[in-house]
Amino acid sequence: MLNRSQSEAAFRRARGVIPGGVNSPARAFGAVGGTPLTVARADGPYLYDLDGNPYLDLIGSWGPMILGHCHPAVVEAVERAVRNGSSYGAPCEAETELAELVVGAVPSVELVRFVSSGTEAAMSAVRLARGATGRDVIVKFAGCYHGHVDSLLVSAGSSALTLGVPTSPGVPKGCTADTRVLRYNDPQGLADLFAAEGDRVAGVMLEPVVGNMGLVPPTGEFRAELRRLTRKHGALLIYDEVMTGFRLAYGGAQELLGDSPDLTVFGKIIGGGYPVGAYGGRADVMRHIMPAGPVFQAGTLSGNPVAMAAGIATLRELKRNPPYERLDRMGAAVEAGLRQAAAGAGVSAQFNRVGSMWTLFFTPTPVTDYDTARTSDTKRFARFFWAMMDRGVYLPCSQFEAAFLSAAMTDAHAAEVAAAARASLQAVAEERS
């Protein structure tokens, strides 16, 4: 077992001044027990804790670090930008340049508006959908997480699922009165909802490939019905690509799947590790946003020049040297290794993967939605998590989160993950027997 005494001391100190000792519940280790790591620094594919322990980072700041930590092009761009001022509260050319990169990468996006987080982007997209259509009802799917927006914090994934709080205290009933929750990958449920109140639906929001109940891909039938019904009833199809945007392909999950939503929500990678979110889509819809139209949305730090510089550098690098085929190949190697390891240890598990995103679910049941994800043995996952940590591999601290590979990793790192998993799963199996 690794010595983590300095992380333990740092966490005790943090709990004295920060609720729960963390600034986001996803970091709390509540689902796996023990004390969260306190990170001292990061470089390439590794994190280093206060005790100097290195960890192969399979979280990547929950997705944005697709190039790895401290990529030279991003560091140089940020240093150059900050010398010219960290915030203006006024337009800068970097905003337009990043917008041009996003619009150029994602054909469904004709106009884009930057904000400071994925939550803010999702909130704004919902308001825009309601304002543009003149309707109130928003449809979401159980286990999909779209940030801590009141109207969407219903049957949520991510830390809300991990902590068993699908609906948070402090959210009035009125905020969710016009939210409908359906089962992911259930085209019949979608058809029934639209048959009952299709003329009231402003928009349908989903993760096109889910990362927030663990990795769950969509079925072709489900995607086709989503597009058919929203078009038929005049509702907007909204893809939340905060995780998948610029990760599964340069044009996101919609490029990989061949889909064309009306609105898309972005975050994480477009900020290159800095706080950036965005929402964009059809020009006729986006022109409802103030000052082009009447739907209000504003933000002092939106288009922050330092964050824009980081995003530009990241997207330029992804365009110049696309890592997607190599990431998929490494993902396939990790998948093969973990499947073999689970079978060898006699552990019932499901492995879901799309490209560089994946989850090992501790259940004999194929995972296709929120209900099947919840059949997972979370206690067994917690033992696996700590066994991997002691072997220097840092996984998401919840059964219900996706892991991520980065372009800073090599085939040797993929083999390292598989080797650690073999030993860890064997230890988990022996502990249970």
Q: Which residues are catalytic?
A: 145, 240, 268
Angle at 269 between CA 268 and CA 274, to 5 degrees: 60
CB atoms within 10 A of CB 392: 14
Q: How far is CA 58 from CA 62, 222, 331, 389, in A?
A: 9, 29, 11, 11
How far is 8 from 49, CA to CA, in rounded Å? 11
CB atoms within 10 A of CB 345: 19
E-strand stretches of 258-324: 263-266, 277-281
User: Do 307 and 276 contact (CB within 8 A), yes or no?
Assistant: yes
Backbone angles phi, psi at 400, to 5 degrees: -105, 40
Question: How far, rounded to the nearest angstrom, does the alpha carbon of residue 428 sit from its chain's CA centroid?
Answer: 28
Q: How far is CA 17 from CA 21, 116, 124, in A?
A: 7, 25, 31
Structure token pair of residue 78: 């940020």
